[in-house]
Each structure stands twice: as C-alpha cells, then as structure tokens.
Structure 1
Amino acid sequence: MTGLLEVSGLRKSYGDRVVLDDIALTVAPHDVVCLIGASGSGKSTLLRCLNLLEEIDDGVIRFEGREISDPLVDPREVRKQIGMVFQAYNLFPHLSVLDNCTLAPRRVHGISQSAAEAQARELLTRFGLGEHIDQHPDRLSGGQQQRAALVRALCTRPQVLLLDEITAALDPELVGEVLEIVRAEAAAGMTMVLATHEMAFAREVATKVCFLDQGRILEQGPPAEIFSDPREERTRQFLRRVL
C-alpha cells in the first residue's frame, strides 16, 4: 500500500534504551491516524521522527514517495509540508498572536505580509480568537494558546499535520474547544497523525488507530475494530484502564 507518508522498519534508541522498534505505518491522504498507548510507549518520539526533529537509527521514512530520512535531505524543506503542534504550545512569547501566525508563511514560504495577515485573521476569527489577535500569548488561557498554536500550524498550509498530546496540558473544560478545531480540520480533509489520550475523540474522528506498547505498534486498524474487538491482550488491558 502506498500513502502520502510511509514508515518502514523504523528504529530509534537513546543509548541502550530502544524507544521505537520496527515501526511500520502508512498514512494515506486525508487519513486521521490516532496513536494511543501508555505514557512512554513511543508516541511522541514517533511524531518527532516523522518531522525530522529526531534522527532515526534504522528504517525509512518516505513523504510523497521521497525518502526524507536520508541524511542529505534538508529538514527545513520537509517541515514546510509536515507541520507539528506541541503539547506546550511553543508560541513565541515576544510576538503577538497575529505575528506568531504570520512569521513562518512570510519568512519560510515567501508569502506577502498582507496575504499572510489576511489568512491568519480569517483562521483566528474562525476559531474564536479574533478578539485576541494583537495580544501576546501570556495574556491568553491555555486553551486559547493551544488554539493559536493550531492556527499557526495551519497558516503554513501543511500537507500533513502532526499533533503531540495537544490537550494533555489543558484543564478538562478547555479540551473540547481545542479538539473542535481538530475535528473541523479532519472534516475538511486535513491529513493528520496525532498522539492522544482522548479515547472518545479517537473513536469518533480517526480513520486508523495505532496502539503502541514499549516502542512497537502492537496493532492498528479502524477505530471500531481496535476499540470493540482488539486482537491483542495488551491492547485490551490498556483499553480497560482508560475507557
């Protein structure tokens, strides 16, 4: 099977500790792939490898058929097409929300300031941040900061969006407003790979769910299959604890 993003035989270690082992994954256009599993199972590291923030020890990562795990590939060129949103927002504190969202489109993608600002204003308004455009991140709630981080990623118009536990640092009442953006982008056809502990959301939105355990994808399949009839006992144990 071919996909927009393909991983085969991926292995990653830190010293003697194997963090990812023989990972195989295909992400087709418009897929929403949810990575689930206990903390420390390798979900975040896998996302960082896909974005070339971590060098892999073995295996191949391909994007649009091109091997991007080749050391000769410029990671900055890859990240123009594969965006990432982090758990800790990572907004620039000295910039306004608008400037955070227009920086990459202007400096990396060469979009004019007027076009970048028009796009950012439209997205920020759509996702309930229109009144906060000129504020700095420290004036926003956690949920607002994470929404701003999502808009910043969307402003670069990535082909694939990676989301790393983006609700983990939020108060429970703020989780829904962030997931609503992800839900809207999934409905619009955005290709996404996300690590999440939100099982109800994964069941509802994912096209594919991957259960990671000790650095391996123990099983993967449609949400109905993984949540209702998992093959592996380890998957059943995990789901009994979190559902």
Structure 2
Amino acid sequence: MPLLECRGLRKQFGGNVVLNGLDLDVSEHEVVALIGASGSGKSTLLRCVNLLEEIDDGTITLDGEEISDPRVDPDTVRRRIGMVFQSYNLFPHLSVLENITLAPRRVHRRERAETQRQARELLDRVGLADKADAYPDRLSGGQQQRVAIVRALANSPRLMLLDEVTSALDPELVGEVLTMIRDLKADGMTMVLATHEMGFARDVADRICFLDGGRVIEQGPPAQVLGDPIEARTRQFLHRIIEAGRL
C-alpha cells in the first residue's frame, strides 16, 4: 500500500480549475519531484495533501486513512506531515530554538528539555548548532530555510512536503538547502517536492511527475522523463527549460 494515495483530485478557484482529476501514489521512502509550468497545480496539490485547501472532489489517503474525509481533524493529520514553503514562515520574535520546539511542546505535549535536546541535535546535523539562540533576522536566507526544514522534522513526520523551497534564495545559497534535502533522502524520508530546479530533481528524485492542466501528464524515472519524455507536452516544457539554461 502506498504511503500517500491521491485519487481523482479536483480543486477549483472560481472558474479556474487547478486540479482536474489528478492521481498520484507515493511509496514509503520514495522521493517524488513535481515539475511543470507555473499554474500547473504543483503547490495546490501539496496544500491539499496538507489539508490547507479543501478538495472539491476525490480522495487523499495517508497510511491507509482517508484524510480528505471532512470528519477528519486536520490538526491531527498535520502532526504526521511536515510542510516547508517558499517563504520560511519563521516567527520573527522567537529564537531558532523556540521556533523549532514550539509545535512539539504545544501540539505534541512533549517536555521542554526533550524538545530542546532534539532540536539541538537536528541543528548540529545541518551545521547550525551555533545559531540556536539567534533570531531569524540574523540568519541568511539559506540558514532560515534550513531552520524551517528542521522545524518540520522536529515533529517526526511520516511525509515531508517541500514547496519550491529554494525559489526565494539567492543562487549561492541554494546549494546548502539542496544538500540538506539529499541528506533527508539518504535517511529514508518520504518526500514530495515541487521544484523548478531540474538538475536537483534529476539528482535526488526517485520519480518525476510532470503536471499540466491540473493532472499528471507523464511520470517515471528522472532519466526517462527529463532525457527521453514520451508526451509532446513534456517535450515542449523541457525544451523551454533547456533554452533558459535551467537543465
């Protein structure tokens, strides 16, 4: 059984259909990269999986439980899902350590000492042990994004959703975040990531899904989808990416 199953997802904003009968399976320990033009449904899909947006039709199943059922408590589901956004969304009035330990203490009711110990261990792993007491405005963009990822990891999620986590970064800061995601893959974390970084998608993903018009048009191993796509629409998209020097 896949860890995550999406069946016939439909989401419409006014007259704009963003997800149009989308199907997606994600196996445990798999890394799936979502690619496609802006407006193809990548970010909306991630927000629907995390129950930040309510789907109009279809089902979302996590660990065999239909989490899209309106009777399901979204906060309970989100304890099993970590989500990291383009903007870091760190609380500016809290230190790095306080940002990371807030949810484990308030939501999971864990002891302060335990959450601080875990947070310091995670910060040490990503080279930010000396930033525990710093405030977000004292960090670079790359450091803030790594803290945002650590904050999501502190809840021990079953699934990580990463929405264009490098798009707001200066080019020289992208590498440190991508290295962290590679390390998560090596640890066996299940991830679905929306990205415009084609080279990164090729290197880290087990499977690439090309979205167009709110559906998965083509999917497969990175070498096949990026190197020898079957669908004409995929070839057209990648041709533009290559012309722009991004692959």
Tell me the TM-score normalized by structure 2: 0.96
Identify the residue that residue 62 of structure 1 maps to in structure 2.
61
Shift in Å, 1:196: 0.4
Identify the residue that residue 28 of structure 1 maps to in structure 2.
27
Shift in Å, 1:111: 1.5
1:190-225 CA-partner distances (Å, limit 9, x unpaired): 000000011111111111110011211111111111
Contact 2:61 2:67 in 1 (8 A): yes
Q: Find the aligned partners of 2:110 and 2:180 in 1 and give their Cα distance.
A: 24
Identify the residue that residue 5 of structure 1 maps to in structure 2.
4
Q: Find the aligned partners of 2:39 and 2:175 in 1 and give their Cα distance.
A: 24
Identify the residue that residue 161 of structure 1 maps to in structure 2.
160
1:69-128 CA-partner distances (Å, limit 9, x unpaired): 000100000000011001001011110000000011111112211110001001111111
Shift in Å, 1:237: 1.2
Shift in Å, 1:5: 0.5
Q: Find the aligned partners of 1:10 and 1:40 in 2 and give their Cα distance.
A: 16
Identify the residue that residue 75 of structure 1 maps to in structure 2.
74
Letter in 2 for 1:211: F
Identify the residue that residue 130 of structure 1 maps to in structure 2.
129
Letter in 2 for 1:10: L
Q: Find the aligned partners of 1:65 and 1:129 in 2 and give their Cα distance.
A: 36
Contact 2:84 2:149 in 1 (8 A): yes
Shift in Å, 1:160: 0.1
- Equivalent residues in 2 for 1:103-142, closer than 5 Å: 103-142=102-141
Q: Find the aligned partners of 1:240 and 1:155 in 2 and give their Cα distance.
A: 40
Q: Which runs of 5+ in 1 are unaligned?
A: none
Contact 2:84 2:161 in 1 (8 A): yes
Letter in 2 for 1:213: D
Identify the residue that residue 199 of structure 2 maps to in structure 1.
200
Q: Find the aligned partners of 2:108 and 2:230 in 1 and give their Cα distance.
A: 45
Contact 2:23 2:215 in 1 (8 A): no
Letter in 2 for 1:26: D
Letter in 2 for 1:169: A
Q: Which runs of 4+ in 1 moved over 2 A?
A: none
Identify the residue that residue 181 of structure 1 maps to in structure 2.
180
Q: Find the aligned partners of 2:81 and 2:20 in 1 and give their Cα distance.
A: 23
Letter in 2 for 1:13: Q
Indicate whether 1:217 and 2:216 are aligned. yes
SS of residue paired to 2:217: strand
Q: Find the aligned partners of 1:131 and 1:68 in 2 and give their Cα distance.
A: 39
SS of residue paired to 1:55: coil
Tell me the TM-score normalized by structure 1: 0.98
SS of residue paired to 1:167: coil
Q: Which runs of 5+ in 2 are unaligned?
A: 242-246
SS of residue paired to 2:124: helix
Identify the residue that residue 95 of structure 1 maps to in structure 2.
94
